[in-house]
Amino acid sequence: MPTEKKSPEPIKVTDKRIFTAEGDIRDEYRNRVTPVDPAETRPEAEAPAEPANEEPSIPTDRRFIMLLQLLDANVYNALELAGRGHPQGKDAARQMIDVTEVLEEKTAGNLSPEESESLKKLLGEAKLLYVKVTKGLKV
């Protein structure tokens, strides 16, 4: 049976944290640490600075989002008519999708990320629904 070796000295744990549990500076660190007023370290602007190599972000215009919603509603209304057999419904839906595509082309690079994503989503869903309705698939 192996014999256990006992260490001659017990293990000593030293707390090296600067602050106490209450948030005060420990006595042994008082001479090394100088408290600073948080207001002095706060940057002037609350918003993070934009990197120099990136273009400034474009703010979202709620009126543009409302325009997209209007186009979306018109496409869906026209496709509903097309689904009921009205001949003008299919043509109206195609025209609204074409207008939305032109809007996407003409505004490329001038939209906020939210506007761009909304436009892309609207166009994708409208095209998918158009194909389903015109092919007579279940919607």
Residues spanned by the domain of 78: 62-134
Query: 26 with 19: CB under 8 angstroms?
Result: yes
CA distance 138 to 79: 13
Question: Is this prediction's pTM over 0.75?
Answer: no
Report how many domains make up the chain. Answer: 1
Residue 14 has pLDDT above 80, yes or no: no
What is the tens place of the pLDDT at every residue in 77-129? 999 988 888 889 999 999 999 999 999 999 999 999 999 999 999 999 999 99
68-77 tens-digit pLDDT: 999 999 999 9
Q: Are 117 and 123 in contact (CB under 8 A)?
A: no
Q: Quick check: is 76 in a domain?
A: yes
Do the domain assignments include residue 87? yes
Say what the pLDDT of residue 16 is: 76
